[in-house]
Amino acid sequence: MFAAMGWIKRRTAAPEPAPVVTYEESPERHVLGLLAESLNARGGGWEITEATKGPLLMGPRDDLAVIFDPGACGDDDPSPEHLSLLVLYGLGRPGGATRLIDCVSVPGPDLETSLQRAAETWADTTGAALLAALGLPSPVAGHFGGDDPNGVPGWHIVAGGVGGYGAGPEHSAVKDWLFDNPPWRLLVPALGEELDRSRPHAVKVFLAVGKGTVTSEVRLDGEVHEEASLALMGADWPRVRDVASVGRLFAMLAPMDDEDCYHPGLRLVN
């Protein structure tokens, strides 16, 4: 089963398996086309354009772009269904754009279905958070202020929807737990001094259980954060047996001077 969940309402997205296709374009352009289709179905304004080093996907504003780079996540031999993406936001700003590496993969009966599901998951998680953080429409994203029961004092958190998949009667257990238990009050203290209050940060959460393995991974600005990953491993999220269950969550964290306003010059939402 494959689905994504937003903070406003629960989504039920279980696409029918797509037929295998023969690509008549470059793999980079094909993947970006799937991303554009998924993102435009949720808001619009994404277009593929050709740059000097290849195609890139430009966002609804000209300060946001996505590049498909199979080697971005550091894999020497990345699997074809693994989407390794380089996100650029803040293009054109005096200090230059912020670069973020983000990867996603979702199993499917064939390669094309896996790619489509991965694109949809990215659109509902990372894509949704980035759009909302930039003040653009994002129906599945949620805002957590410093005074929110699930927020953290001193930070404004913009989270995308909760993505997930699995198999068996409890396939959605991990995704449901992430939706019901936003982990920010646990993770922000664990991220510690690496949360630089002079700028925003990106945080990705990945939880998985199945086939005798349990995975807890937290990435800060694209890099694995061991202490935060261990803190999340110690939480009471479900370790279901005899099934596979995966949950994915992405958020942008912006520092605040107080409970009502962002630091001057760091406002993600214009």
pLDDT at 14 over 60: no
DSSP structural state of residue 193: G
Asked whether 200 and 263 are in contact (CB, 8 A), the reply is no
Q: Which residue has the higher pLDDT, 60 or 269?
A: 60
Amino acid at 125: T
DSSP structural state of residue 148: S
- Average per-residue pLDDT for the chain: 85
Task: Please state, in angstroms and as integers, the Cα–Cα distance from residue 105 to each residue in 116, 151, 247, 258, following that order.
Answer: 10, 28, 12, 38
Q: Which residue has the tokens 């107080």?
A: 258
The vertex-133 CA angle with 10 and 185, nearest 5°, equals 70
18-47 mean pLDDT: 80
Query: Percentage of the chain with pLDDT > 90?
Result: 61
Give pLDDT tens digits for 79-127.
888 899 999 988 888 877 888 999 999 999 999 999 999 999 999 999 9
Give pLDDT tens digits for 214-240.
999 999 999 999 999 999 999 999 998
Dist CA 161 CA 153 (whole Å): 22
pLDDT at 146 over 50: yes
pLDDT at 197 over 50: yes
Give pLDDT tens digits for 47-75.
999 988 889 999 998 889 999 988 777 76
Tell me what pLDDT residue 94 has.
Answer: 81
